[in-house]
C-alpha cells in the first residue's frame, strides 16, 4: 500500500504568525452546543440559567426542533432573582425539583451557566453539588458554562464534556476512548473500522446514557474526533490518559492518518491496516473527486465559527484542489491543531478571534470564489455577489470519516454549482 | 426564576433591532457579549434581508469585566459612526450589559458625535420584544420629530411596521392604496422603511394610521398630545374592519369614505354554497392581541365559524382581549407559556387553530388543522408573493389561508359515508396534506381492539363525576369522522356529566348527538 495523497508541504502553517484580532465577533455562544448534545445524550437534560435572550437564542438556533419534546429549557432570571443571591439558589432548587418531577426519566442534569448568571456570579457548581447529593442516586447533576463571555459556539460541547471527565470512575484498563459527539451513523462507522483492525474495547465520550459510562486512567488512550475539545483534552491529561495526536478525520487523508495514528498505538500491522482501509479509501477518493469538480482551483475564505476551519481548509486544499485565502478560527489550540497545520501549505492568512467589519473588508477585497461564514453574514455577502457556504451545517451534518468524504466536498461545491445554474439575477 | 422552554417574544433589545433594521440611515450600538449576534440571523434568514442588520455589538468577554468595559463601548460607538456615517444612532444594553451598569446613553453623550445618539432604557428582566420595539420607536420619535406646519394636502403617517413583522411589507402597500383611493397621501411610513430625516418630518401629517398597536401605540399617543395628530383605532384586517377603518379615517381626515371593492372576492366566496360546511366550525385563536382581535371578528362574522377560545401572549393587550372575549362568551387566555396554550387547545378540541408558529406545532401534534395569523413565524411566512393581511386583498388572502388546511367539503362527506372503507377511512388523512395514505388491513374491523378497552383505561375526568366510556360506545365514537370526533366526545361527556350519568353507552352518545343537533 502506498500513500495516495500529495506529500506534505515542505513548510506547513504551524510556524505562520497568527493574525490575532478583537472587536465585534459574529458568532454563536456556547449555549448552542446544547442543541446537538441533548440529542446525543438521551437521558440528559440541559437547564440554562440565564435570561430571555438565552431562551430566544436556543429557540432561534434549534428552529424546527420545537415540539420534538426537547430536553432543554431556560430558567429565566427575573428582577427578583437579581436582588439577592441566596434567593437565587433557592429559586434554582425549586425550578429543578419542578423539572425533575415532570421528567422522571432524566438521569443527568446539566446546569448551564450563561452571561447573566456568570456576571452576577451565581455559583452553579455549588448548586450542582448540593442537588447531586439531594437527588442521588437517580440523577447526577453537573454544571458548566456556555456563556458568550467565555465560550464560542462549539466550545459549549467542550465545556460540557470537560465537566464530565472528573466524575468518570478510575480504571487501569487499556481502552481506546473516542472524544466528541458525532452523529450515530458516523460513530458506528469509526468503531467498525477500528474493531475490524482488532482494536478494542472502544469507549465514546459522551456516552449516550449515563449507565454506559466507563473508567479513565493512566492506560486510557484517547483520540479527539473534533478539534474544539481542548479543555476536555486537558481534563483527560489531568486524569493521566494519553492523547493520540492526529489530523482530524475529514476527507480520505484525514481519516486515514487519524486511523493510522491509533493503529500504530495498538500495534496493527500494515497488512491489516490496508485490508481494512483500502476499499473505503478508494470509495472516498472517488466520491471526493466527483463531488469536488466544481471547486477545483477555486479560492476559499473562512470566517471564524466552530474551530473546524483549519482541518476543513486542509481537506479542501489538499483533496479538493482549492486555494485558501484566509482561515479564521475563533480559537486556535496549537497542540491539538499542529498535525493539521503541518499539512496546510503556507499561504493563507491564519486568523484567530475577529473584528468582523475588518474581516469583511479583507474578504471583499480578496473576492474569494467561496466564503464559509455564519448565517448572519451569508445572505448579505450573497447579495454582494460572493458565493457562500453557511458554516453551521458543517457541525450538524455527518461529515467525518470515509463514507461522508464525498458529502463533505459536496457541501462546499453545491453553492458554487448553484450559482452557475441560476440564470436570473436578483433585482436590486 | 421561570422555567421556560419556548418563548413567544424575544428580549426587548430584539424589539429595538426590529426598529433599527426596518429603518435606513440609523445605527444601533448594542453593549452586548459575544453570542448576542444570533439575532442577526432572524433578519438575514427568516426575513431574508440582503444586508446585515445595522447593529454593532461591543462583544465584551469575561476577561474584560475586571477592566473597563465602558472603553469597549466608546470604541465600538466611535468606530460604528466612522464606518457607517448614520444620520442618527440608538444606543443601549442587552440583558448582560444591563447587569454591569455601564450607561451607554451617558457614554455616547461624552463622545460628542455630530449626530443624535438616542439612549434606550429597555428593562430586559421585566419586559419583552414588543415593548422594546414600541419604546424604541417612541424614543426615536420623541428625539427627532418636531411640531410642524401641516401639509397643504391631507396626509397621514403609517406607523407600526418594523423589521421581522408578520406581513408588514405588504400591509403597507395595501393601506397606502386604501388611503390613496380617498385622496389621502402618505407622509411618512415608520419605523419601516423611514430614515431619521423622515422621522423629523412626521409632524407635518394631519393624522396617524396606527397599523400595529404593539409596536407604535406609545408613539401614536405622544404625537397626538404633542403635534395634535389624532390616530386611527381600527386595524383594517377583515372586510368589516376595513369598511370601519375607511369610515373612521374619512371622519378624521374630513373626506368622503371611498372603498374600491372591485377586487374583493372574500364575501362571495364565503357566501357560496361550497362554504356551507364551514358553518359552526369550532376555532381557537392565539397570537398577538391585535391579530387575534381582528381575526376573531372575521372568524365569527365573515366565515361563520364558532369561536371557542382566544388568547394572546403579550400582556400589553390583555385588557382589550379580555373585554373582547366576553363579547364572544369565552374566557381569554393570557399567557406566554405554550404548554398552557396546548392544554387549553386539548381541552377545547377545536376543529381549526388560528395561531402562531407554536400553535402550528401544537396542531400538528394533536392532529388539528392550523393557519398562521400572527408572529412569531418561520421563514415560510415571509413569502415571496404579495400576501397582506390588511384591506381588500388581505381579506382574500385570509379566506384562502384559513380554508386551505381544512378537509374540503365533499371530502368530508365522503369520509362520513365511507368511514369503514379500507382505502377511504379517516386515518388515511386529507387528500392534499402530503402524507402517504395508509391502507387499512382488509378484514380487521375498526373497533376490534376496543373490545378489550377496560373501563379504567377509558376513564376521563370532567368535573366531579368520573365518567366511563363503555366499550361499545368507545367503538361507536371511533366511527365518527376524526375531524368531529373531538367535538362529539366533548359534547357527550358534558351532556353526561350535566345529567349525572357516569357511564356512557351508545345510547348516551346518540342522545347527546340529538341534544346538540343544529
Q: 3-state SS of B431-499? A: CCCCCCCCCCCCCCCCCHHHHHCCCCCCEEECCCCEEEECHHHHHHHHHCCHHHHHHHHHHHHHHHHHC
Q: Please tell me whether B426 is known to bind a ligand.
A: no
B246 and B269 co-located in one domain: no
User: Which grid cell sits at A248?
Assistant: 482530524
Q: Residue B410's pLDDT band (boundaries 50, 70, 90)? A: low
Percent of chain A with pLDDT over 90: 83
CB contact under 8 A, A81 and B1: yes
User: Which grid cell sits at B436?
Assistant: 402517504
CATH number at residue B323: 3.40.50.1980
Q: How many Cα neighbours within 13 Å face the side chain of A80?
A: 7
Q: Over the stretch B195-217, which tens digit does the pLDDT of each residue have?
A: 999 999 999 999 999 999 999 99
A143 and A185 co-located in one domain: no
With beta carbons under 8 A apart, name residues in chain A contacting B3: 73-76, 95, 98-99
Domain that holds residue B243: 145-253
B14 CB within 8 Å of a chain A CB: yes
Q: Which one of B1, B46, B126 would you mutate to disrupt binding with A, by most A Cβ within 10 Å of its Cβ?
A: B1
Q: How far is B14 from chain A (nearest CA, A)?
A: 9
User: Which grid cell sits at B185?
Assistant: 397621501
Q: Is B513 inside any structural domain?
A: yes
Q: What positions of B carry a catalytic annotation?
A: 274
User: Which grid cell sits at B494?
Assistant: 358534558
B94 and B215 co-located in one domain: no
Q: Residue B448's pLDDT band (boundaries 50, 70, 90)? A: very low
Torsion of CA A259, A263, A264, A267, to 10 degrees: -170
Q: Over the stretch A72-82, which tens digit does the pLDDT of each residue have?
A: 999 999 988 88
Instruction: Report strand pairing: B352-355 vs B282-287.
Output: parallel
Q: Is A235 inside any structural domain?
A: yes
Q: Residue B219's pLDDT band (boundaries 50, 70, 90)? A: very high
Q: Which of A24, A52, A357 sits opposite B10 (nearest CB)?
A: A52
CA pair distance B59, B55, nearest whole angstrom: 12
Cell match 456556555: residue?
Answer: A146
Residue A83 has pLDDT above 80, yes or no: no
CA pair distance B57, B120, nearest whole angstrom: 15
Residue that is last in its domain, among B95, B128, B161: B128
Count the helices and strands in chain A (H runs, E runs): 17, 14
Residues paired with B284 in a beta bridge: B309, B353
Q: Residue B274's pLDDT band (boundaries 50, 70, 90)? A: confident
- Between A91 and B460, the more confident residue is A91
Q: Over the stretch A101-124, which tens digit does the pLDDT of each residue have?
A: 988 999 999 999 999 999 999 999
A196 and A146 co-located in one domain: no
CA pair distance A23, A358, nearest whole angstrom: 9
CB contact under 8 A, A27 and B37: yes
**What are the C-alpha distances in Å from A397 to residues A38, A392, A417?**
16, 9, 19
Q: Is B363 inside any structural domain?
A: yes
Residues paired with A112 in a beta bridge: A48, A144
Residue that is last in its domain, among A219, A248, A272: A272
Q: Is A252 inside any structural domain?
A: yes
| ipTM associated with this complex | 0.93
Residue A355 has pLDDT above 50, yes or no: yes
With beta carbons under 8 A apart, name residues in chain A contacting B364: 67
Q: Is A193 inside any structural domain?
A: yes
Nearest to B209 by CA among B177, B164, B175: B175
Residue B411 has pLDDT above 80, yes or no: no
Residue B208 main-chain phi, psi, to 5 deg:
-115, 140
Residue B477 has pLDDT above 90, yes or no: no
A110 and A47 co-located in one domain: yes
Q: Which one of B7, B16, B28, B34 would you mutate to disrupt binding with A, by most A Cβ within 10 Å of its Cβ?
A: B34
Residue B415 has pLDDT above 80, yes or no: no
CB contact under 8 A, A115 and B35: yes
How much is the pLDDT for A197? 97
Nearest to A252 by CA among A223, A289, A197, A204: A289
In the stretch 50-89 of chain B, residues with CB closer than 8 A to chain A read 50-53, 56-62, 64-65, 76, 79, 83
Q: Residue B406's pLDDT band (boundaries 50, 70, 90)? A: confident
Residue that is last in its domain, among A243, A272, A301: A272
- Between B64 and A369, the more confident residue is A369
> Which of A1-15, A132-146, A303-317 has the lowest average pLDDT?
A1-15
Q: Over the stretch A119-177, which tens digit does the pLDDT of each residue have?
A: 999 999 999 999 999 998 899 999 999 999 999 999 999 999 999 999 999 999 999 99
Residue that is last in its domain, among A238, A272, A306: A272
Residue B335 has pLDDT above 90, yes or no: yes
A41 and A141 co-located in one domain: yes
CB contact under 8 A, A53 and B11: yes
Query: Exposed/middle/buried for B478, CB within 10 Å: 0-12, 13-18, 19+?
Result: middle
Q: Is B134 inside any structural domain?
A: no
One-character DSSP codes across A263-322: HHHTT--HHHHHHHHHHHHHHHHHHHHHHTGGGTT-EEEE-SSSS-HHHHHHHHHHHS--
A191 and A147 co-located in one domain: no
B237 and B311 co-located in one domain: no
- Between A427 and A38, the more confident residue is A38
Mean pLDDT of B15-41: 96
Residue B450 has pLDDT above 60, yes or no: no
Sheet holding B459-461, edge to edge: B459-461, B466-469, B503-504
Q: Is A91 inside any structural domain?
A: yes
Helix (H) or strand (E) holding B307: strand B306-312
With beta carbons under 8 A apart, name residues in chain A contacting B124: 51-53
With beta carbons under 8 A apart, name residues in chain A contacting B5: 70, 72-74
Q: Is B388 inside any structural domain?
A: yes
Q: Is B6 inside any structural domain?
A: no
> Are the C-beta atoms of residues A276 and A266 closer than 8 Å to each other?
no
How much is the pLDDT for B419? 62
Q: Is A129 inside any structural domain?
A: yes
B334 and B372 co-located in one domain: yes
Q: How many other CB atoms sit within 10 Å of the CB of residue B464?
A: 7
A96 CB within 8 Å of a chain B CB: no
B394 and B271 co-located in one domain: yes
A258 and A221 co-located in one domain: yes
Q: Is A347 inside any structural domain?
A: no
Length of chain A: 428
Query: Exposed/middle/buried for B449, CB within 10 Å: 0-12, 13-18, 19+?
Result: exposed
Residue B440 has pLDDT above 60, yes or no: no
> Which of A397-411, B144-158, B490-504 has the lowest average pLDDT?
B490-504
CA pair distance B308, B284, nearest whole angstrom: 6
How much is the pLDDT for B417? 63
A37 and A140 co-located in one domain: yes
CA B233 to chain CA centroid, nearest Å: 18
A329 CB within 8 Å of a chain B CB: no
Percent of chain B with pLDDT over 70: 87
> Are the C-beta atoms of residues A402 and A255 closer than 8 Å to each other?
yes
CATH number at residue B500: 1.10.8.550
One-character DSSP codes across B164-218: T-TTHHHHHHHHHHHHHHTTPEEEEEESTT--HHHHHTGGGSSEEEES-HHHHHH
With beta carbons under 8 A apart, name residues in chain A contacting B79: 23, 357
In the stretch 64-93 of chain A, residues with CB closer than 8 A to chain B read 64, 66-67, 70, 72-79, 81-82, 88, 91-92
Percent of chain B with pLDDT over 90: 70
CB contact under 8 A, B99 and A98: no
With beta carbons under 8 A apart, name residues in chain A contacting B361: 66-67
> Which of A74-83, B76-85, B322-331 has the lowest average pLDDT?
A74-83
Mean pLDDT of B60-64: 87
How much is the pLDDT for A427? 65
Q: Is B375 inside any structural domain?
A: yes
B285 and B394 co-located in one domain: yes
Nearest to B468 by CA among B460, B477, B478: B460
CATH number at residue A182: 3.40.50.1980
Average pLDDT, chain A: 93
B100 CB within 8 Å of a chain A CB: yes
CB contact under 8 A, B7 and A51: no
Domain that holds residue A111: 30-151
B153 and B238 co-located in one domain: yes
Residues 6+ apart with CB under 8 A from B456: none
In the stretch 33-52 of chain A, residues with CB closer than 8 A to chain B read 49, 51-52
Residues B149-187 as b or e (16 or more Cβ within 10 Å = b): ebeeebbbbbbbbbbbbbbbbbbbebbbebbeebebebb
Sheet holding A388-390, edge to edge: A19-21, A349-353, A323-329, A299-302, A370-373, A388-390
> Which of A41-50, B22-31, B358-367 has the lowest average pLDDT?
B358-367
Q: Residue B466's pLDDT band (boundaries 50, 70, 90)? A: confident
B42 CB within 8 Å of a chain A CB: yes
Residue A44 has pLDDT above 60, yes or no: yes
In the stretch 138-197 of chain A, residues with CB closer than 8 A to chain B read 147-150, 152
B219 and B290 co-located in one domain: no
Q: Is A311 inside any structural domain?
A: no
Mean pLDDT of B103-128: 94
> Which value, in Å, is the radius of gyration of the alpha carbons in chain B?
27
Helix (H) or strand (E) holding B357: helix B357-366
> Which of A77-91, B24-38, B82-96 has the lowest average pLDDT?
A77-91
> Are the C-beta atoms of residues B155 and B126 closer than 8 Å to each other?
no
CB contact under 8 A, A118 and B361: no
Residue A300 main-chain phi, psi, to 5 deg:
-135, 145
Q: Which of A73, A94, A426 sits opposite B5 (nearest CB)?
A: A73
CA pair distance A147, A127, nearest whole angstrom: 17
Residues 6+ apart with CB under 8 A from A104: none
Q: Is B504 inside any structural domain?
A: yes
Percent of chain A with pLDDT over 70: 96
Q: Is B95 inside any structural domain?
A: yes
Q: How many other CB atoms sit within 10 Å of the CB of residue B198?
A: 21
How much is the pLDDT for B487? 78
Mean pLDDT of A403-407: 95
A243 CB within 8 Å of a chain B CB: no
Task: Report the domain count for chain A.
Answer: 2
How much is the pLDDT for B456? 43
Residue B476 has pLDDT above 80, yes or no: yes
With beta carbons under 8 A apart, name residues in chain A contacting B362: 67
Q: How many other CB atoms sit within 10 Å of the CB of residue A16?
A: 16
Please give the residue of chain A at the shortest CA–CA distance from B31.
Answer: A24
> Are the C-beta atoms of residues A57 and B35 closer than 8 Å to each other?
yes
B83 and B187 co-located in one domain: no
A132 and A181 co-located in one domain: no
Residues paired with B481 in a beta bridge: none
Q: Which of A25, A99, A378 sits opposite B3 (nearest CB)?
A: A99
Average pLDDT, chain B: 89
How much is the pLDDT for B452? 41
**What are the C-alpha distances in Å from B486 to residues A308, A367, B303, B362, B489?**
51, 60, 21, 15, 5
Residue B40 has pLDDT above 50, yes or no: yes
How much is the pLDDT for A210? 84
How much is the pLDDT for B459? 45
How much is the pLDDT for B442? 52
Mean pLDDT of A90-107: 92
> Are the C-beta atoms of residues A420 and A403 closer than 8 Å to each other?
no
Please give the residue of chain B at the shortest CA–CA distance from A428.
Answer: B50
**What are the C-alpha distances in Å from B177 to residues B213, B294, B382?**
20, 20, 21
Task: Report the domain count for chain B.
Answer: 4
Cell match 361527556: residue?
Answer: B493
Nearest to A56 by CA among B63, B516, B132: B132
Peptide bond into A201 cis (omega under 30): yes
Residue A213 has pLDDT above 90, yes or no: no
> Are the C-beta atoms of residues A160 and A144 closer than 8 Å to each other?
yes
Peptide bond into A137 cis (omega under 30): yes
B276 and B400 co-located in one domain: yes
**What are the C-alpha distances in Å from A259 to residues A58, A192, A234, A271, A273?**
35, 12, 22, 14, 9
- Between B363 and B463, the more confident residue is B363
How much is the pLDDT for A22? 87
Binding-site residue numbers of A for [4Fe-4S] cluster are 29, 54, 115
CA pair distance A419, A415, nearest whole angstrom: 6
CA pair distance B347, B28, nearest whole angstrom: 45
How much is the pLDDT for A86? 66
How much is the pLDDT for B416? 64
How much is the pLDDT for A285? 95
B244 and B271 co-located in one domain: no
CB contact under 8 A, B44 and A376: yes
Q: Is A194 inside any structural domain?
A: yes
How much is the pLDDT for B418? 63
- Give the DSSP letter of residue B60: B
Residue B462 main-chain phi, psi, to 5 deg:
-115, 110
> Are the C-beta atoms of residues B241 and B294 closer than 8 Å to each other?
yes
Mean pLDDT of A82-103: 86
User: Which grid cell sits at A83?
Assistant: 436582588
Please give the residue of chain B at the shortest CA–CA distance from A45.
Answer: B5
B269 and B245 co-located in one domain: no
Residue that is last in its domain, among B253, B285, B318: B253
With beta carbons under 8 A apart, name residues in chain A contacting B99: 82, 116, 119-120
The vertex-A125 CA angle with A120 and A129, nearest 5°, equals 140
User: Which grid cell sits at B55?
Assistant: 447593529
A143 and A240 co-located in one domain: no
Amino acid at each position: 500500500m502506498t500513500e495516495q495523497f500529495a506529500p506534505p508541504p515542505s513548510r506547513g502553517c504551524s510556524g505562520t504568525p497568527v493574525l490575532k484580532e478583537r472587536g465585534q465577533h459574529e458568532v454563536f455562544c456556547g449555549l448552542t452546543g446544547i442543541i446537538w448534545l441533548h440529542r446525543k445524550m438521551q437521558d440528559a437534560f440541559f437547564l440554562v440559567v440565564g435570561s430571555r435572550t438565552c431562551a430566544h437564542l436556543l429557540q432561534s438556533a434549534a428552529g424546527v426542533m420545537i415540539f420534538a419534546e426537547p430536553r432543554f429549557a431556560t430558567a429565566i432570571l427575573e428582577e427578583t432573582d437579581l436582588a439577592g443571591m441566596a434567593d437565587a439558589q433557592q429559586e434554582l432548587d425549586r425550578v429543578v425539583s419542578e423539572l425533575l418531577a415532570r421528567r422522571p426519566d432524566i438521569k443527568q442534569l446539566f446546569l448551564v451557566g450563561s452571561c447573566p448568571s456568570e456576571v452576577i456570579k451565581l455559583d452553579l457548581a455549588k448548586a450542582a453539588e448540593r442537588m447531586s447529593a439531594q437527588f442521588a442516586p437517580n440523577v447526577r447533576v453537573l454544571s458548566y458554562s456556555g456563556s458568550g463571555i467565555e465560550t464560542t459556539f462549539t466550545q459549549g460541547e467542550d465545556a460540557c464534556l470537560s465537566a464530565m471527565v472528573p466524575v468518570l470512575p478510575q480504571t487501569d484498563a487499556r481502552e481506546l476512548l473516542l472524544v466528541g459527539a458525532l452523529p450515530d451513523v458516523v460513530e458506528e462507522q469509526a468503531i467498525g473500522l477500528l474493531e475490524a483492525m482488532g482494536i478494542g474495547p472502544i469507549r465514546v465520550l459522551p456516552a449516550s446514557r449515563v449507565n454506559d459510562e466507563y473508567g479513565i486512567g493512566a492506560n486510557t488512550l484517547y483520540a479527539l474526533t473534533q478539534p474544539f475539545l481542548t479543555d476536555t483534552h486537558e481534563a483527560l491529561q489531568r486524569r493521566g490518559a494519553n492523547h493520540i495526536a492526529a489530523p482530524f478525520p475529514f476527507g480520505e487523508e484525514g481519516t486515514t492518518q487519524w486511523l493510522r495514528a491509533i493503529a500504530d498505538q495498538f500495534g496493527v500491522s500494515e497488512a491489516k491496516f490496508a485490508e481494512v482501509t483500502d476499499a473505503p479509501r478508494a470509495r472516498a477518493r472517488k466520491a471526493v473527486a466527483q463531488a469536488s469538480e466544481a471547486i477545483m482551483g477555486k479560492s476559499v475564505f473562512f470566517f471564524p465559527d466552530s474551530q473546524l476551519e483549519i482541518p476543513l481548509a486542509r481537506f479542501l486544499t489538499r483533496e479538493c484542489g482549492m486555494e485558501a485565502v484566509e482561515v479564521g478560527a475563533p480559537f486556535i489550540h496549537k497542540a491539538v491543531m499542529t498535525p493539521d497545520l503541518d499539512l496546510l501549505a503556507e499561504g493563507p492568512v491564519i486568523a484567530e478571534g475577529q473584528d468582523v467589519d475588518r474581516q469583511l473588508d479583507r474578504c471583499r477585497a480578496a473576492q474569494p470564489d467561496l466564503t464559509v461564514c455564519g448565517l448572519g453574514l451569508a445572505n448579505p455577502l450573497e447579495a454582494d455577489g460572493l458565493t457562500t457556504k453557511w458554516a453551521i451545517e458543517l457541525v450538524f451534518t455527518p461529515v467525518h470519516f470515509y463514507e461522508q468524504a464525498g458529502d463533505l466536498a459536496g457541501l462546499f461545491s453545491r453553492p458554487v454549482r448553484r450559482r452557475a445554474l441560476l440564470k436570473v439575477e436578483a433585482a436590486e | 426564576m421561570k422555567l421556560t422552554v419556548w418563548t413567544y417574544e424575544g428580549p426587548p433589545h430584539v424589539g429595538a433591532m426590529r426598529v433599527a433594521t426596518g429603518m435606513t440611515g440609523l445605527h444601533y450600538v448594542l453593549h452586548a457579549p459575544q453570542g448576542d449576534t444570533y439575532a442577526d440571523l432572524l433578519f438575514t434568514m427568516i426575513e431574508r434581508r440582503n444586508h446585515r442588520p445595522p447593529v454593532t455589538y461591543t462583544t465584551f468577554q469575561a476577561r474584560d469585566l475586571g477592566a473597563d468595559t465602558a472603553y469597549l463601548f466608546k470604541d465600538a460607538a466611535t468606530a460604528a459612526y466612522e464606518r457607517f456615517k448614520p444620520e442618527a444612532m440608538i444606543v443601549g444594553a442587552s440583558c448582560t450589559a444591563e447587569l454591569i451598569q455601564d450607561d451607554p446613553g451617558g457614554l455616547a453623550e461624552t463622545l460628542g458625535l455630530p449626530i443624535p445618539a438616542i439612549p434606550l432604557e429597555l428593562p430586559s428582566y421585566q419586559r419583552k420584544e414588543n415593548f422594546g420595539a414600541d419604546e424604541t420607536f417612541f424614543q426615536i420619535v420623541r428625539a427627532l420629530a418636531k411640531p410642524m406646519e401641516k401639509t397643504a394636502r391631507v396626509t397621514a403617517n403609517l406607523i407600526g411596521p418594523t423589521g421581522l413583522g408578520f406581513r408588514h411589507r405588504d400591509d403597507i402597500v395595501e393601506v397606502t392604496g386604501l388611503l390613496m383611493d380617498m385622496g389621502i397621501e402618505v407622509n411618512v411610513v415608520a419605523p419601516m422603511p423611514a430614515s431619521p430625516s423622515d422621522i423629523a418630518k412626521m409632524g407635518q401629517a394631519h393624522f396617524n394610521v396606527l397599523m400595529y398597536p404593539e409596536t407604535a401605540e406609545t408613539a401614536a399617543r405622544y404625537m397626538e398630545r404633542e403635534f395634535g395628530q389624532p390616530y386611527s383605532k381600527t386595524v383594517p384586517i377583515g372586510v368589516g374592519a376595513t369598511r370601519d377603518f375607511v369610515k373612521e379615517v374619512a371622519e378624521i381626515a374630513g373626506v368622503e369614505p371611498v372603498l374600491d371593492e372591485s377586487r374583493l372576492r372574500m364575501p362571495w366566496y364565503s357566501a357560496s354554497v361550497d362554504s356551507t360546511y364551514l358553518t359552526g366550525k369550532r376555532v381557537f385563536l392565539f397570537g398577538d392581541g391585535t391579530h387575534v382581535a381582528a381575526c376573531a371578528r372575521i372568524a365569527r362574522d365573515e366565515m361563520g365559524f364558532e369561536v371557542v377560545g382566544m388568547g394572546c401572549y403579550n400582556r400589553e393587550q390583555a385588557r382589550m382581549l379580555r373585554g373582547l372575549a366576553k363579547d364572544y362568551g369565552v374566557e381569554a387566555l393570557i399567557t406566554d407559556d405554550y404548554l398552557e396554550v396546548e392544554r387549553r387547545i386539548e381541552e377545547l378540541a377545536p376543529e381549526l387553530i388560528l395561531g402562531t408558529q407554536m400553535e402550528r406545532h401544537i396542531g400538528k401534534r394533536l392532529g388539528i388543522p392550523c393557519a398562521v395569523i400572527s408572529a412569531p413565524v418561520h421563514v415560510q411566512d415571509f413569502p415571496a408573493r404579495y400576501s397582506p393581511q390588511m384591506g381588500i386583498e388581505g381579506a382574500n388572502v385570509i379566506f384562502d389561508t384559513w380554508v386551505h388546511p381544512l378537509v374540503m367539503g365533499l371530502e368530508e362527506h365522503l369520509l362520513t359515508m365511507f368511514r369503514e372503507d379500507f382505502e377511504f377511512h379517516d386515518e388515511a388523512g386529507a387528500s392534499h396534506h402530503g402524507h402517504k395514505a395508509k391502507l387499512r388491513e382488509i378484514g380487521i374491523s375498526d373497533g376490534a381492539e376496543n373490545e378489550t378497552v377496560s373501563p379504567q383505561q377509558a376513564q376521563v375526568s370532567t368535573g366531579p363525576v368520573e365518567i366511563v366510556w363503555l366499550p361499545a360506545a368507545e367503538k361507536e365514537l371511533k366511527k365518527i369522522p376524526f375531524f368531529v370526533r373531538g367535538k362529539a366526545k366533548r359534547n357527550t361527556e358534558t351532556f353526561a356529566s350535566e345529567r349525572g350519568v357516569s357511564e356512557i353507552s351508545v345510547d348516551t352518545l346518540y342522545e347527546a348527538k340529538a341534544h346538540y343537533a343544529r
